[in-house]
Structure 1
């Protein structure tokens, strides 16, 4: 392709066949540029979605930790209440 372009640069008159080839190459370059731009747009969207997913995971991990701590407190309180109830029942039996 480079050789053909160099040859065309040297011509003072460009034959119709060569003009058609130039137009075809220009159209192809435009299509390739559109594809590159669309791929970049899709890549940007994917990066944004990935970052949002990371934020969501961090947020949900924090929620999980808070729920786990709350559940542990409830279990501790229930165990204490069960122990107190057992002690009261043992006291009533004696």
Structure 2
């Protein structure tokens, strides 16, 4: 392709079929650039979504840890309440 372009640059008259070829190449170049730009845009969207998902995962992990700690406290308190109730029942039956 470069050789053909260099040959065309040297001509003072460019045949119609060569001009058509140049237009075709220019159109292809524009289409390729549009595809590249769309791919870049899609990549940016994907990167943004990935980063947002990372933030969401971190937040959910923190929430999970807090819920687990709260649940453990509830279980401890329930076990204590059960133990107190059992002790009261044993004292009442004696």
- Rounded Cα–Cα distance in structure 1 between residues aligned with 2:20 and 2:85: 95
Residue 43 of structure 1 and its aligned partner are, at CA, apart by: 0.4
Q: How far does the alpha carbon of each residue in 1:1-28 deviate from its partner, in whole angstroms, 9 at most, with x for none? A: 1110110111111111111000000000
> What is the root-mean-square deviation in Å for CA atoms of aligned residues?
0.5
Q: Report the TM-score, using the length of structure 2 for normalisation.
A: 0.98
Between the two proteins, the alignment pairs up a number of residues equal to: 94
- Rounded Cα–Cα distance in structure 2 between residues aligned with 1:60 and 1:25: 52
Q: How far does the alpha carbon of each residue in 1:40-93 deviate from its partner, in whole angstroms, 9 at most, with x for none? A: 000000000000000000001100000000000000000000000000111111
- Rounded Cα–Cα distance in structure 1 between residues aligned with 2:26 and 2:59: 49
- Rounded Cα–Cα distance in structure 2 between residues aligned with 1:53 and 1:9: 53
Residue 29 of structure 1 and its aligned partner are, at CA, apart by: 0.0
**Deviating more after overlay: 73-82 vs 3-12:** 3-12
The runs of 4+ residues in structure 1 deviating greater than 3 Å are none
Q: Unaligned 5+ residue runs, structure 2?
A: none
The equivalent residue for 1:93 is: 93
